[in-house]
C-alpha cells in the first residue's frame, strides 16, 4: 500500500535517489523539501515488511489526475513487480482519472535493452498513450528539451486539449515554479496541444462462439504475408474469412489453440500464431478446411503448401511465431509490439520476416529479436529467421 512521506522524513528517499539517479536528473534537496512542504507536490512510497521498496513523486491535479515526476524502485527490488504495484495503487488512490508523465522519445532503431526501451515496455502494460504534439520540458539552464507527454488512463480514456493544458500548467506552476522561463516554454507548444485518446489493450484467445471473430481472424491471416496468402486465397480476402472456420477447428497450424489475438477496446485488432511443434497431418488438415468450407482447392493450393507450409515440418528452435498481422485500421497504435511483448518470457521465440521488410525488422529488433540466418523464402523472396532467446534467471 502507498503511504505518504512528508518533507521531514524525505532524507532517506533522497539519499537513495542520489545513489541511483544521475546528477542531471536530480533537484537539490532544498528544492524537494520546499515542494513537499505545501502539499501540492507529494511523495508516495510502497512499503512491504516494514521496508520501502520504491516510491513516486508528483502533483495531484484537480479532476482526479496525477502528474508523475519520478517513479523509482530501489535497485535490489527491481524485477519483482513493485513498479506495477506503485502505478496501480497510484491510479486507484491518487490519479483515478489518469496519470500524466514525461518520457524521452524512443527512436526507431532504439536498442532493446536501453533504458528508454525498457521504460516504454513497462508503461505499455498500462495502455499508455502518447501526446501528438511538440511538448517541451523547461531546463534549469534556461533552455528546454523535447520530451513526450504521455497519459496512462484511469477512469478516463479521452482527455481533451483544454484539460491537458490545465493539467500541464497546474503541474508546471508547482514543479517548475523557480524557473522564470517556464511560461515562455509552455507558450512554444500550448496552442498545438491536441486531445489524447487512450485505448484499452488486451491479449486473449479467439471466442469460437462468435462467427464474426472467426471471420476477422481469417482476414488477418490474409494480411499476414503479401507473397503467400493472396496466392493461397486467390486474392480474395473474403475467401480467407470463409475458410477460417475450417482452419481454426481442424488440427493444423491455424487451429484456434495456436492463435492469440490483440484487442483494442475489446475488438480484435491483430493476431499471432504460436507453435511449439508442427502438426502431424498439417497438409491434409488444411486441405480438408478448404473442402469443408468452400468445396474446392484454389489452383495454387499445392504450390503454397509445398513451398511454404511443408517447409516448416523440419522444425525450428524454441517456439515459432508463424504469423503476425494487424488490421489496417488499427495500425500505428503499437498493437504488434504489445502482442509480442505480452508473450511469456520463459521461452525462446523464432519468427521469419522478408529481408527487405524494414519496418517489420525494426519492430522485431525493438522487441529483442536478432538475426539467426538468411534463406530463400516462398518464390525465392529473400527472408531472414530471427530469434529471441529466453533470458536465463
Number of domains present in the structure of the chain = 2
Q: Is residue 227 part of a domain?
A: yes
Q: Does 226 lie in the same domain as 154?
A: no
Average pLDDT over residues 115-142: 89
Q: Name the residue among 110, 102, 89 with its Cα closest to residue 128.
A: 102
pLDDT for 23: 80
Nine cell digits for residue 312: 516448416
Residue that terminates a domain, selected from 197, 214, 242: 197
Average pLDDT over residues 229-237: 95
Confidence class of residue 108 from pLDDT cuts 50, 70 and 90?
Answer: low
Confidence class of residue 118 from pLDDT cuts 50, 70 and 90?
Answer: confident
Q: Does 218 lie in the same domain as 177?
A: no
Q: Does 363 lie in the same domain as 233?
A: yes
Our measurement of the distance from residue 315's CA atom to the centroid of its chain's CA atoms, rounded to an integer in Å, reads 29
Q: Is residue 268 part of a domain?
A: yes
Cα 121 from Cα 117, distance rounded (Å) = 6
Other Cβ atoms within 10 Å of 16 Cβ, number: 15
Average pLDDT over residues 334-355: 93
Percent of the chain, pLDDT > 90?
Answer: 77
Average pLDDT over residues 374-378: 89
pLDDT for 119: 84
Average pLDDT over residues 85-108: 92
Average pLDDT over residues 370-392: 90
Nine cell digits for residue 57: 513523486
Q: Does 345 lie in the same domain as 244?
A: yes
Q: Does 139 lie in the same domain as 37?
A: yes
Taking all residues of the chain, what is their mean pLDDT, rounded to a whole number?
Answer: 93
Residue that terminates a domain, selected from 171, 197, 223: 197
Residue that terminates a domain, selected from 173, 197, 221: 197
Cα 44 from Cα 128, distance rounded (Å) = 21
Q: Does 115 lie in the same domain as 221?
A: no
Condensed to tens digits (0 to 9), the pLDDT of residues 203-213 reads 999 999 999 99
Confidence class of residue 379 from pLDDT cuts 50, 70 and 90?
Answer: confident
Q: Does 119 lie in the same domain as 19?
A: yes
Cα 29 from Cα 20, distance rounded (Å) = 15
pLDDT for 116: 80
Q: Could you tell me the CA-to-CA distances from 13 to 10, 38, 70 in Å, in that order?
A: 5, 18, 12
Q: Is residue 393 part of a domain?
A: no
Q: Is residue 58 part of a domain?
A: yes
Cα 283 from Cα 299, distance rounded (Å) = 15
Q: Does 14 lie in the same domain as 140?
A: yes
pLDDT-wise least confident of 61-70, 125-134, 207-216: 125-134
Cα 167 from Cα 165, distance rounded (Å) = 5
Condensed to tens digits (0 to 9), the pLDDT of residues 5-54 reads 998 889 999 999 888 888 877 888 998 999 998 889 999 999 998 899 99
373: containing domain: 201-388
Q: Is residue 291 part of a domain?
A: yes
For the cut 70, the answer to whether the pLDDT of residue 354 exceeds it is: yes
Please name every residue paired with 374 in a beta bridge, in sequence order, or none if there are none.
384
Average pLDDT over residues 300-310: 91
Q: Does 13 lie in the same domain as 43?
A: yes
Condensed to tens digits (0 to 9), the pLDDT of residues 144-189 reads 999 999 999 999 999 999 999 999 999 999 999 989 999 999 999 9
Average pLDDT over residues 237-259: 97
Answer whether 357's CB lies under 8 Å from 225's CB: no
Q: Does 102 lie in the same domain as 161?
A: yes
Query: Which domain CATH number covers 304?
Result: 3.40.630.30
Q: Which residue has the higher pLDDT, 265 or 21?
A: 265
The 3-class secondary structure across the chain, one letter per residue, is: CEEEECHHHCHHHHHHHHHHCCHHHCCCHHHHHHHHHCCCCEEEEEEECCEEEEEEEEEEECCCEEEEEEEEECHHHCCCCHHHHHHHHHHHHCCCCEEEEEECCCCCCCCCCCHHHHHHHHHHCCCCEECCCCCEEECCCCCEEECEEEEEECCCCEECHHHHHHHHHHHHHHHCCCCCCHHHHHHCCHHHCCCEECCCEEEECCCCCCHHHHHHHHHHHHHCCCCCHHHHCCCCHHHHHHHHHHHHHCCCCCCHHHEEEEEECCEEEEEEEEECCCCCCHHHHHHHHHHHHCCCCCCCHHHHHHHHHHHHHHCCCCEEEEEEEECHHHCCCCHHHHHHHHCCCCCCEEEEEECCCHHHHHHHHHCCCEEEEEEECHHHCEEEEEEECCCCC
Q: Does 215 lie in the same domain as 183?
A: no
Q: Which residue has the higher pLDDT, 206 or 106?
A: 206
pLDDT for 330: 94
Percent of the chain, pLDDT > 70?
Answer: 99
Q: Does 181 lie in the same domain as 33?
A: yes
Nine cell digits for residue 119: 521504460
Cα 369 from Cα 385, distance rounded (Å) = 10
Average pLDDT over residues 284-300: 96
Q: Is residue 77 part of a domain?
A: yes
Q: Is residue 18 part of a domain?
A: yes
pLDDT for 393: 57
Q: Is residue 140 part of a domain?
A: yes
For the cut 80, the answer to whether the pLDDT of residue 111 exceeds it is: no
Amino acid at each position: 500500500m502507498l503511504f505518504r512521506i512528508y518533507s521531514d522524513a524525505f532524507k532517506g528517499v533522497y539519499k537513495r535517489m542520489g545513489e541511483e539517479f544521475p546528477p542531471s536528473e536530480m533537484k537539490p534537496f532544498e528544492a524537494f523539501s520546499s515542494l513537499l512542504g505545501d502539499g501540492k507536490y507529494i511523495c508516495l512510497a510502497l512499503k512491504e515488511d516494514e521496508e520501502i521498496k520504491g516510491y513516486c513523486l508528483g502533483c495531484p491535479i484537480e479532476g482526479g489526475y496525477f502528474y508523475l515526476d519520478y517513479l523509482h524502485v530501489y535497485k535490489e527490488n527491481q524485477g519483482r513487480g513493485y513498479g506495477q504495484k506503485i502505478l496501480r495503487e497510484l491510479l486507484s488512490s491518487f490519479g483515478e482519472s489518469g496519470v500524466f508523465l514525461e518520457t524521452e522519445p524512443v527512436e526507431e532503431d532504439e536498442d532493446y535493452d536501453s533504458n528508454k526501451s525498457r521504460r516504454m515496455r513497462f508503461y505499455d502494460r498500462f495502455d499508455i498513450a502518447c501526446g501528438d504534439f511538440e511538448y517541451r520540458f523547461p531546463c534549469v539552464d534556461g533552455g528546454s528539451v523535447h520530451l513526450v507527454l504521455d497519459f496512462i488512463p484511469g477512469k478516463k480514456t479521452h482527455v481533451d486539449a483544454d484539460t491537458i493544458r490545465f493539467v500541464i500548467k497546474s503541474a508546471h506552476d508547482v514543479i517548475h515554479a523557480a524557473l522564470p522561463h517556464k511560461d515562455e516554454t509552455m507558450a512554444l507548444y500550448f496552442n498545438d496541444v491536441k486531445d489524447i485518446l487512450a485505448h484499452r489493450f488486451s491479449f486473449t484467445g479467439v471466442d469460437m462462439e462468435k462467427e464474426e471473430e472467426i471471420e476477422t481472424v481469417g482476414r488477418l491471416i490474409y494480411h499476414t504475408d503479401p507473397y503467400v496468402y493472396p496466392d493461397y486465397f486467390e486474392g480474395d480476402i473474403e475467401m480467407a474469412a470463409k475458410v477460417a472456420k475450417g482452419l481454426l477447428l481442424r488440427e493444423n497450424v491455424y487451429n484456434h489453440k495456436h492463435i492469440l489475438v490483440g484487442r483494442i477496446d475489446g475488438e480484435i485488432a491483430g493476431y499471432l500464431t504460436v507453435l511449439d511443434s508442427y502438426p502431424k497431418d498439417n497438409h491434409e488438415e488444411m486441405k480438408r478446411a478448404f473442402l469443408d468450407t468452400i468445396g474446392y482447392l484454389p489452383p495454387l493450393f499445392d504450390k503454397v503448401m509445398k513451398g511454404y507450409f511443408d517447409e516448416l515440418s523440419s522444425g525450428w528452435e524454441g517456439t515459432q511465431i508463424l504469423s503476425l498481422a494487424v488490421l489496417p485500421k488499427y495500425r500505428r497504435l503499437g498493437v504488434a509490439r504489445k502482442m509480442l511483448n505480452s508473450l511469456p518470457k520463459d521461452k525462446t521465440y523464432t519468427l521469419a520476416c522478408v529481408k527487405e521488410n524494414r519496418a517489420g525488422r525494426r519492430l522485431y529488433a525493438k522487441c529483442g529479436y536478432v538475426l539467426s540466418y538468411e534463406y530463400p523464402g516462398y518464390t525465392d523472396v529473400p527472408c531472414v529467421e530471427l530469434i529471441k532467446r529466453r533470458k536465463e534467471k
